[in-house]
Structure 1
Amino acid sequence: MNKFGLIGFFVALFCCFSCSNEYKILEPVESISLTADSSVKVIGETIVFSVTTNSGTNITEEATIFVNNTLIDGNTFTGSETGDLMIKAEYLGVESAPITIRFHDGSETNFIKRVLIEDYTGTWCGNCPRVNHAVELAYAQTDKIVTVGIHRSSSNPADANYDPFNFDTSELEAIVNISGYPRALLNRMTRWTPLEQNNITQVINLTQGENPKLGLAMTTSIDGSTLNLETNVKFSKNFSNIKLVIYVLENGLIYDQVNYTNFYTGPGTISNFQHNHVLRACLTPLLGESIANSNSGLGQTYTKTISVPVPSNIANLNNIEFVAFIVDENNKSINVRKAGVGENQDFEEL
């Protein structure tokens, strides 16, 4: 090969390698934005950061992130002390506006506030549809209601006050100490003033105001003929002398309802009336199972796990509901939560 051929060979080889390389032309970045998945976290929890350019391109992996001017590894940070932290990001010499993240000891956490309605009723009770109607009116204004239908009074079909869904709550009724039916109790110990349909605000008001410092979350399932329930209670302050109550309810139960009111079909008997939220079993003592003071402190989570046979009085497994609530030393409900079958709930933190 002559000199010119050799030169041509190397020129061609250079061009070949040059053409095989790909060069990425970076778009000009005028500004970048730093965001976090939360601005407030409890000590020990992790915050996740994201960084984007002014054009919306996600550059989290390429950017560098600083916490109080100290470079961190990656885009997550777990706080170990209380206080405010200043966070910023940098990319190709462009710096984001700083954001502030606060870590606290758990005492700033609040939970959604729900009101418990325990409706003492009966299929034989002609005035009881009045409360059922009032509950429907309350639900039309808020979803922060948990209703339990406690059917009374006799399980003997020969009795005039026979109710096929009768559930013995004598122990609880002795504490409530209010005679006659219907009667509806709010948060277990406060009478819903009759005529209930004229006092809906009494219910709504109990969902307002200061939020509770404890919340509940349930994980539920049915495995064959076994009910599985895990109830978790999280505390954002110290509690003492509290108890946990867990109910099993059933919806869609059909039975004639005596009616003295003008609601629904009016006075007479309502054929094939649908009874919902009917109490079928209590998985704890009726007045509650004590939670030790050592397990109900700030930042703690108490867990109660139950696996029991499906109650024999359940007609349809698909219509089961669970209700869990915490009562104080005066038997007043502090907060309440309901769940269907197959739920895996998170705490309703605010």
Structure 2
Amino acid sequence: MKKNLILLFIACLALVGCSKNYDILNSYSDIILTADSSVKVINETITFTVKDNEGNDLTDDTVFFVDGEEIEGNTFTTDVVGNYEVTATYFEVEADPIVINFHDGTGINFRKRVLIEDYTGTWCGWCPRVAYGIELVHQQTEDVVAVAIHRPSSNESSPVYDPYNFDSSELENYIDIPGYPKGLLNRLTQWDNPEPNNINQVIALTQGENPKLGVAMNTAISGNDITLDVNVKFGKDFGNELKLVVYVLENGLIYDQHNYTTYYNSEDPIVDFEHNHVLRACLTPLMGEIIPNNETGILNVYTKSFNISIPENITNTGNIEFVAFVTDAEGNALNVRSAHPNEVQEFEEL
């Protein structure tokens, strides 16, 4: 009788039918730790979140550590100025650490946003890989600004014809990374392939030390005219050569997209694919317009104004998007901001 009961117990476990509370936990090799802010004034609170690559929230089952000491829950505050390293463990999986900062209120920092430039093409069957990766990133953070740079031919008889082609040869020659697709983070850092499996690389750039400059735009469209003021505020004395880049994008463009990937249900072509954040015009030189050194001092606000006609290749003025960012002397984007028509933005000071 005892033997029969043991056999019954083993069978019950195998079938997972003897306990209503039995849950099968997913296996994770990567988890992504983020903070709602990387910088706060002392005695303010920072909240931490952990998600997987697909955006599932794992926070409730995660243990958080600050400078190696376990904390209760997923929030932290302190009255001591300084930097703190935060780590997190979801069962046996560890997240990449992040650094947060508490200051006394005298420091000037700005919200950090990351630029993704996606070199793509409607003819390019592998390019949906990056587009899908961008969608996954947007599910996890609002601190990313995407730009789709379509390549490489405007010749309708060419096998690589793209109706949204934008000549970015000067920039691509500087980057010197051949082939498509390629995703560049903050202009010069290549997003590792396959991009949908490496969204943690992007998220990590939204964390840590915050930039010492911020961007705010005032935009207006009236009839066929665009009025755009790009404002840059500096939280320290830069002194070195900074450049401003300003893009005009268009969203909601519909055109078939070739697809050799398993994303988007492996459909090829993807009929009536919606192309977003498509680069339509650059209002500055593509490599940037120099901001005079005497304008880059602490607390100064530099303003560049544009009064232009709506670019002729724009098909729907309601879908226009503006992007502005500042690069350093090497070309790395230091901070970026996007705006829609008829928007008045404030600086995102922290």
Same fold (TM over 0.5): yes
CA shift in 2, pair 1:116/1:103, >3 Å = closer
Q: How does 1:301-312 map to 2 (within 5 A)?
A: 301-312=301-312
Q: Does 1:339 align with 2:339?
A: yes
SS of residue matched to 1:265 = helix
In structure 2, distance between residues paired with 1:180 and 1:209: 31
In structure 2, distance between residues paired with 1:212 and 1:103: 16
Q: Does 1:136 align with 2:128?
A: no
Q: How does 1:45-60 map to 2 (within 5 A)?
A: none
- Equivalence for 1:208: 207
- Equivalence for 1:260: 260
- Equivalence for 2:291: 291
Q: Does 1:270 align with 2:270?
A: yes
In structure 1, distance between residues paired with 2:164 and 2:265: 22
Q: Does 1:145 align with 2:144?
A: yes
- Equivalence for 1:320: 320
- 1:293 offset after TM fit, Å? 0.8
CA shift in 2, pair 1:257/1:294, >3 Å = same
Deviations 1:113-172 (A, max 9, x none): 000000000000000001000001111111100000000011011010000000000000
In structure 2, distance between residues paired with 1:185 and 1:147: 10
In structure 1, distance between residues paired with 2:268 and 2:336: 35
- 1:268 offset after TM fit, Å? 1.5
- Equivalence for 1:29: none
- 1:265 offset after TM fit, Å? 3.4
Q: How does 1:184-263 map to 2 (within 5 A)?
A: 184-239=183-238, 240-263=240-263
Deviations 1:156-197 (A, max 9, x none): 110100000000000000010000000000000000010111
In structure 2, distance between residues paired with 1:159 and 1:103: 58
Quick one: which amino acid aligns to residue 157 of structure 1? E
CA shift in 2, pair 1:268/1:212, >3 Å = same
SS of residue matched to 1:139 = helix
Deviations 1:260-305 (A, max 9, x none): 0111131410111000000000000000000011001011000001
Deviations 1:65-123 (A, max 9, x none): xxxxxxxxxxxxxxxxxxxxxxxxxxxxxxxxxxxxx885xxx1100000000000000
Q: Does 1:281 align with 2:299?
A: no
Quick one: which amino acid aligns to residue 230 of structure 2? T
Please identify runs of 4+ aligned residues in structure 1 that moved more than 3 A: none
Quick one: which amino acid aligns to residue 307 of structure 2? S
Whose radius of gyration is greater, 1 or 2? 1
Q: Among the aligned pairs, what percent are the same residue?
A: 58
- Equivalence for 2:29: none
Note the residue ranges of structure 2 that are not aligned, 5 or more in a row: 1-40, 43-103
In structure 2, distance between residues paired with 1:139 and 1:222: 27
In structure 2, distance between residues paired with 1:144 and 1:125: 27
In structure 2, distance between residues paired with 1:236 and 1:154: 42
Deviations 1:199-245 (A, max 9, x none): 11000000000000000000001121111100000001011200000
In structure 2, distance between residues paired with 1:215 and 1:268: 41
CA shift in 2, pair 1:103/1:188, >3 Å = closer
In structure 2, distance between residues paired with 1:311 and 1:271: 27
In structure 2, distance between residues paired with 1:153 and 1:299: 41
Quick one: which amino acid aligns to residue 214 of structure 1? L
TM-score after normalising by structure 2: 0.70
TM-score after normalising by structure 1: 0.70
Quick one: which amino acid aligns to residue 200 of structure 1? I
Q: How does 1:26-105 map to 2 (within 5 A)?
A: 104=106
- Equivalence for 1:112: 111
Note the residue ranges of structure 1 that are not aligned, 5 or more in a row: 1-38, 41-101
In structure 2, distance between residues paired with 1:274 and 1:103: 44
Alignment: residue pair count: 248
- Equivalence for 1:126: 125
